[in-house]
């Protein structure tokens, strides 16, 4: 059977965003700004650039602004046109046309594995991408496209990896893996947030996956794991018993926007990359810290 590129991308967006309270009491974490667009937009852009035509949001209650963002706003578009801001109106019109957007509800906060299972009705017969919007990836080609290249060659699910410091392994899912070529691994096992002394490696799973539809069968067979949640890593570990899973030490840079310090750092990095904002950032730092950059 010839290689079929992924057409669908799943975004779990049901999280409560407690690290950013009180801001996220009323604003979904995924809608927090990174310069001129919300975090979720960066992930959608990556999925679309990687060939996805359909975006599935697995959402909780109170996330209506995500849905509204990816819909047309005729009143706003007409206002912009009427005030001579046609270019901005055209930019807004393109957002709902990026892909076909679908939504499904995760009614209880039972973990990433449960969120993925909620998307089964959309992806049950085909490989799909899974993107965690907290991770904004700066990469060319996109990280999702890099994973797809590995899947095309090795024919299996593919995880994205990043090397982390030994003391940080307790923050991530960690793989036990055998390198099959530089930067590409065949996964032998996974552990969710292990104590550093028990970690099988320092290769941490990051927020980009290409998954086989068989993941849904394995998600249904696991029990609640770490934190009382259904862990995706447990389902992938179960899947290893029946089919190969690979992992890629991706090429690119990850901006971790899921914590305050990471979000601030990401904002500064993106601002410094913007020709119109770079001088403002540097001038402000020089003035506030009384230093010369």
pLDDT tens-place string over residues 184-193: 999 999 988 9
What is the pTM assigned to this prediction? 0.94
Residue 2: pLDDT band (50, 70, 90) is confident
Contact predicate 187/177, CB 8 Å: yes
pLDDT value at position 1? Answer: 60
Tokens read off for 290: 């009384």
From CA 96, how far away is CA 270, in angstroms rounded? Answer: 24
- State the CATH architecture for 8-258: Alpha-Beta Complex (3.90)
Asked if residue 277 has pLDDT above 70, the reply is yes
pLDDT at position 227 is 75
Return the ∠ at Cα 162 (arms to 186 and 225), rounded to 5°: 75
pLDDT, position 3: 86
Q: Which residue has better confidence, 137 or 18?
A: 137
Residue 252 dihedral angles phi and psi, to the nearest 5°:
155, -170
Buried b (16+ CB within 10 A) or exposed e, 190-212: bbbbbeeeebebbbbbbbbbbbb
- The answer to whether the beta carbons of residues 71 and 159 sit under 8 Å apart is no
Closest CA to 163 of 220, 119, 205: 205
pLDDT in tens, 133-155: 999 999 999 999 999 999 999 99
pLDDT mean over 232-247: 95
Handedness of CA 233, 234, 239, 241 (dihedral sign): positive
C-beta separation of 50 from 144 below 8 A: yes
Two tokens at 262? Answer: 């990471």
> What pLDDT score was predicted for residue 225?
79
Contacts of 167 (CB under 8 A, 6+ apart): 196
**Structural tokens at position 285:** 């730092």
4: three-class secondary structure by DSSP? coil
């Amino acid at each position: 059977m010839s290689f079929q590129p992924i057409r669908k991308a799943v975004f779990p967006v049901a999280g409560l965003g407690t690290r950013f309270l009180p801001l996220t009491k009323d604003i979904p974490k995924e809608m927090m700004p990174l310069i001129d667009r919300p975090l979720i937009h960066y992930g959608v852009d990556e999925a679309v650039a990687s060939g996805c035509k359909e975006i599935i949001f697995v959402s909780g209650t109170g996330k209506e602004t995500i849905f509204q963002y990816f819909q047309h706003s005729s009143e706003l578009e007409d206002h912009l046109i009427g005030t001579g801001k046609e270019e901005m109106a055209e930019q807004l019109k393109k957002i709902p046309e990026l892909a076909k957007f679908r939504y499904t509800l995760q009614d209880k906060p039972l973990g990433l594995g449960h969120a993925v299972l909620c998307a089964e009705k959309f992806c049950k017969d085909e490989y799909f991408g899974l993107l965690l919007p907290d991770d904004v990836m700066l990469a060319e080609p996109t990280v999702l496209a890099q994973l797809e290249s590995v899947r095309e060659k090795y024919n299996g699910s593919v995880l994205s990896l990043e090397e982390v410091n030994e003391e940080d392994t307790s923050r991530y899912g960690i793989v036990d893996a055998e390198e099959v070529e530089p930067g590409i691994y065949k996964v032998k096992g996974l552990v969710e947030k292990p104590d550093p002394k028990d970690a099988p490696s320092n290769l941490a799973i990051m927020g980009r996956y290409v998954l086989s539809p068989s993941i849904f069968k394995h998600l249904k067979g696991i029990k609640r794991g770490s934190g009382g949640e259904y862990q995706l890593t447990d389902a992938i570990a179960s899947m290893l018993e029946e089919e190969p899973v690979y992992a890629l030490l991706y090429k690119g840079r990850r901006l971790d926007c899921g914590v305050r310090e990471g979000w601030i750092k990401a904002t500064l990095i993106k601002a410094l990359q913007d020709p119109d904002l770079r001088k403002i950032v540097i001038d402000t730092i020089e003035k506030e810290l009384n230093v010369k950059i």
